[in-house]
Amino acid sequence: MLISKILEKNFFSYNLVIYLFLLWNTIKLFLINSDPIIQVLNLLISLGIYFIIEDQKFIIKKKKSFSFFLGLVLFSLTIIKSFLLSNADDKYYYFNLPLGILALIVILKPFNEFFYLRNIFLISLLLPLRRLFFSASITFLMPLTKYLTWFVLFMLGVNPILNDKNLFIDGVQVNISEGCAGADNLFFVISTITIYMLIFRLNFKNNILFISISSIFVSVVINILRNTIIALVVSSNKPYKDYLYHFLHDSYGSLIFAFISVTTVSLIYFKLLDKELKNH
């Protein structure tokens, strides 16, 4: 078996095997045309795993152990399954990364030493957790988004009419769907802060509380800004409004606002981290 020969004879460093798997998973998500949000989230997670292990050199010490054999079988099955993955309708793509990382950890370490590499596995779980978070957060994000968008538009003098999930501006209907609730935006921010905490941990409780509150606040504000702009575009009579709507509403456009949220929270996080380091 080629995988077994690579791992057992150390043709490559073990770190490189992990990097190649991260690259393969990224390529596969692109080939099956998965949602751009998933692709960017996977890239963020992969970078987090890379930074955690970049200064470590892993060596397989127990190549004849049961855990090595079990991990090798699991990793082989993961690679085979990922090759068979042909479209985004197969939701296995959510689990390919964590299963592959779990297998690589089991190959590298006995079960009783799993705790040593727990961080890269925890980061890999952010991919499947995205869907769970989306479903769980919609309940409170939808009404919050709906009323705050209405309030901001009202403050701008637009005088919108709120009706269930819809806003009406001068007779033009603006639908606020689940995709407008900002769950993905918030999850990007939470994922970023989670990765930061595992790599550059904040120690002061006040700073941890502040970054937690800031993350939610920034994400919600940026999403309301996005919805407000979309509502103004849809209700306008500009000839290019359809193009702007699709750009701002579809995945690639929404990623711009996620990037703004992540950048803002990152600046806050590293400012707090810098203060902690100076106080030590």
- Residue spans per domain, the chain: 2-124, 129-279
Q: Supply the pLDDT for residue 11.
A: 42
Q: What are phi and psi of 241, to 5 degrees?
A: -65, -35
Give me the DSSP letters along the chain. -HHHHHHHHTSS-HHHHHHHHHHHHHHHHHHTT--HHHHHHHHHHHHHHHHHHTT-------TTSHHHHHHHHHHHHHHHHHHH--STTSGGGGTHHHHHHHHHHHHHS-GGGGGGGHHHHHHHTHHHHHHHHHHHHHHHHHHHHHHHHHHHHHHTT---EEETTEEEETTEEEE--GGGS-HHHHHHHHHHHHHHHHHS----HHHHHHHHHHHHHHHHHHHHHHHHHHHHHHTS--TTHHHHHHHHHSHHHHHHHHHHHHHHHHHHHHHHHHHHHHH-
- How far are the Cα atoms of 65, 109, 124, 223 from residue 85, in angstroms, in the given order? 31, 28, 19, 33
Q: Which residues contact 228 (CB under 8 A, 6 or more apart)?
A: 149, 152, 153, 156
Q: Supply the pLDDT for residue 67.
A: 79
For the chain, residues with pLDDT lower than 70 are: 1-12, 61-64, 110-116, 165, 251, 280
Its sign, for the CA torsion 149, 150, 152, 156, is positive
CA-CA distance, 89 to 92, in Å (whole number)?
9
Q: Supply the pLDDT for residue 128.
A: 93
| CA nearest to 102, candidates 145, 73, 132 | 73
CA-CA distance, 123 to 97, in Å (whole number)?
10
Place of tokens 């596995």: 121
Q: Which amino acid is at 145?
A: T
Q: What is the spatial order of strands in the sheet that 172-175 belongs to?
A: 161-163, 166-169, 172-175
**Percent over 70 (pLDDT), the chain:** 90
Contact between 71 and 142 (Cβ < 8 Å):
no
Contact between 45 and 18 (Cβ < 8 Å):
no
pTM of the entire predicted model: 0.86
Q: Supply the pLDDT for residue 112.
A: 56
Contact between 72 and 107 (Cβ < 8 Å):
yes
Q: Supply the pLDDT for residue 272.
A: 93
